[in-house]
Amino acid sequence: MTRVSQVTRVGIIGARGVGAIHAAVLQTLPGVEVTMIAGSGPATAAAAARRLGVRRWTADAVELVTDPEIDAVHVCTPNDQHFDVVRLSIAAGKHVLCEKPLTLVPAHADLLAAAAEQHEAITTVAYNYRYSPLVPRLQRLIADGRLGSLHTIRAGYLQNWALDRVHSWRSDPAQGGRSRVLNDIGVHLIDLVEFVSGTRLERLDTTFTALDGLAPGATMSPSRPHSVPTVWRCRSWPPRSPPAVRTH
């Protein structure tokens, strides 16, 4: 495993969207340098590097993860690319922060966990809502027993950013994942339920509902700008005090 220098040199794979947000935040941190950014093509990568003030760019993710100047990699690609990019990064001796979801196949996540242990890589998934000030406070209240025994957890996660971007990769099951909204943003709620309650989800029963009468799983079209799958529910049976979990 590559030792992290006094300045942690970060490479970001994914030049648009959340990748740009990662770059902007990293550049505010002392002891961190965004050294290189990788995009889907030369024009995209070069434009992002100029806009974000990153001195090096590439259109080849492999070039970035194997570069000896890079200590850590932020993986901000579409979901279907996460497994391969994280696997290559760990094998190249890099520490990794990956956007959620880590993989689209559970067995792939197990392989990445084993690889990280083998290579002594520091790895994490970007469940950033854990650090919203109210979340650790709620976690402490539950852990201290100040809310009593948990029987039901109700949570909601409302998003409207997709209403004018219905043809993004997120709505493509091959890139975003077959479970669509659950896989892409529902994972935040699943993580928060586990994080604040101290339990682990062992079973998930899910119901998808689409707005405007669009059948779940159908292709969204510009004529139905609000046809976004938005509703899911789950129940949790952890080993102790099983609370039912309902989210929407």
> What pLDDT does 8 receive?
96
Residue with tokens 């922060």: 97
> What pLDDT does 182 receive?
73
Residues 6+ apart with CB under 8 A from 150: 142, 197, 199, 241, 243
Return d(Cα 100, Cα 203) in angstroms, integer: 20
Q: Which three-class secondary structure state does DSSP give residue 114?
A: helix
Alpha helices in the chain (DSSP H): 18-26, 42-52, 61-65, 82-91, 106-119, 134-143, 173-176, 181, 187-197
Per-residue pLDDT of the chain (248 residues; tens, 9 = 90+): 555 458 999 999 998 889 999 999 999 999 999 999 999 999 999 999 999 999 999 999 999 999 999 999 999 999 999 999 999 999 999 999 999 999 988 899 999 999 999 999 999 999 999 999 999 999 999 999 998 888 888 877 777 666 655 567 766 777 777 666 777 778 888 899 889 988 887 777 776 665 554 444 444 333 333 333 333 444 433 434 444 444 44
Smallest CA-to-CA distance from 191 within 134, 125, 108, 145 is with 125
> What pLDDT does 164 receive?
58
Amino acid at 171: S
> What pLDDT does 204 receive?
73
Question: Is the pTM for the entire model greater than 0.85?
Answer: no
Question: Which domains does the chain possess?
Answer: 8-126 (3.40.50.720), 129-247 (3.30.360.10)
